[in-house]
Chains A and B, each alone.
Chain A
């Protein structure tokens, strides 16, 4: 797996997202511009300028028409992917740490930071996917996080629930229509740093500073799997096609007195999703991995580091061939039943 290095950011990466077809990668960093890249060759497709602070988050709508971003300048911006034009700016009281479109791109949620007397919130905005259309100013719904601020959040299958991961290690489930909290479960000992969905959004993975990642059932917030790492985790992603998960993290330089790349454990870690066993690691970054993202078509993955680089990997034959004995047997059985 020889990676492609995407050079264009001057500061630490904050989030990476693939579009639905897996051919474009969007990346955000603390350097105030969003980059778009072709995933197959790493060529830069464009940049999006306008934010006046570190950009924390980006998401692309399911039709690959628009991207949304959130930043330390207390705004959410909506962009036309093709022209690079900023279509809309929504203002908030504090920084925006996470944005996510729902499954049909008709709504966007934004997670706002707790600061200066403002509690953390999750805000819902209506989106019109027509680039010519006027976008609504209205904040359709605001969920206030009284107990512990949300760090990450997303939309479930059917846009039925909003699921949030909090600073205190809890995961909560809200009714996406009313904002009512339906459930709240403590799943991690420390901050939840990432939440990414399975393709059909019936389960998701959380990453935490407590050095574990967990696979959680969307409907009842049951922890189905736990992946134990030896370093604080910043990101976790579920691979389609193969039953793997990819975790990224590493000790930040300021948290340890002497950090070499070896001690820092700056590797992407692959685990078997069902058996919870570590399968392998991919080295390359010179700092913690802040974000990992998987191509929705299953062809590869990308990682973004504190070192300012995005590394894009195309999976090779060995990756696709790797199976456990019991998986092969189960597949044979299924094929026999179908015959």
Chain B
């Protein structure tokens, strides 16, 4: 009986975690989509560093040559 009680308590904890994880993943999906749309609407690249990082790696390549 004790073992059963323990098992149902564990189950409740697991169910709680499952719910938290689902909530988190659904929030992440919605906010990522929203920011993506906002970047597109402003005409910005998805990665804020797209332009500037490329410039620096090209510079390093030149040094190697």
Chain A 227-243 interface 0/1 with B at a Cβ cutoff of 8 Å (1 = within): 00000000000000000
Closest chain A CB from B53 CB (angstroms) = 6
Chain A 189-228 interface 0/1 with B at a Cβ cutoff of 8 Å (1 = within): 0000000000010110000000000000101000010000
Whether B14 pairs with A325 at a CB distance below 8 angstroms is yes
A62-B53, A63-B52, A202-B35 as given contacts; A158 in contact with B21, CB under 8 Å: no
Closest chain A CB from B23 CB (angstroms) = 8
Tell me if A327 is interfacial: C-beta within 8 Å of chain B.
Answer: yes
Chain B 43-65 interface 0/1 with A at a Cβ cutoff of 8 Å (1 = within): 01000110011011000000000
Partner pick for A274 among B20, B48, B55, B56, CB 8 A cutoff? B20
Tell me if A126 is interfacial: C-beta within 8 Å of chain B.
Answer: no
Docked complex: A53-96 residues within 8 A CB-CB of B: 62-65
Whether A157 pairs with B52 at a CB distance below 8 angstroms is no
Residue of B nearest to A330 (CB): B21
Whether A62 pairs with B32 at a CB distance below 8 angstroms is no
Residue of A nearest to B24 (CB): A274
Whether B17 pairs with A200 at a CB distance below 8 angstroms is no
Residue of A nearest to B38 (CB): A158
Closest chain B CB from A101 CB (angstroms) = 11
Whether A62 pairs with B49 at a CB distance below 8 angstroms is yes
Whether B52 pairs with A104 at a CB distance below 8 angstroms is yes
Q: How many A-B residue pairs have CB under 8 A?
A: 53
Closest chain A CB from B15 CB (angstroms) = 9
Q: Which of A63, A219, A275, A326 has the most CB of B within 10 A?
A: A326
Contacts of B49 in A (CB 8 A): 20, 62-63, 103-104
Residue of B nearest to A200 (CB): B35
Closest chain A CB from B7 CB (angstroms) = 14
Tell me if A179 is interfacial: C-beta within 8 Å of chain B.
Answer: no
Contacts of A329 in B (CB 8 A): 18
Residue of B nearest to A104 (CB): B48
Tell me if B3 is interfacial: C-beta within 8 Å of chain A.
Answer: no
Report the separation of the CA atoms of residues A65 and B27 in the bound assembly, to the nearest whole angstrom: 35
Report the separation of the CA atoms of residues A104 and B53 in the bound assembly, to the nearest whole angstrom: 9
Residue of A nearest to B49 (CB): A62
Report the separation of the CA atoms of residues A202 and B28 in the bound assembly, to the nearest whole angstrom: 9
Whether B35 pairs with A158 at a CB distance below 8 angstroms is yes
Partner pick for A158 among B22, B24, B42, CB 8 A cutoff? B42
Interface on B for A, CB 8 Å cutoff? 14, 17-18, 20-22, 24-25, 27, 31-32, 35, 38-39, 42, 44, 48-49, 52-53, 55-56
What are 9 A-B contacts with C-beta separation under 8 Å? A20-B49, A62-B53, A63-B52, A64-B56, A104-B49, A158-B35, A202-B35, A324-B17, A327-B21
What 9 A-B pairs are tightest by C-beta distance, nearest first? A103-B48, A326-B17, A326-B18, A274-B24, A202-B31, A104-B48, A63-B56, A62-B49, A274-B20
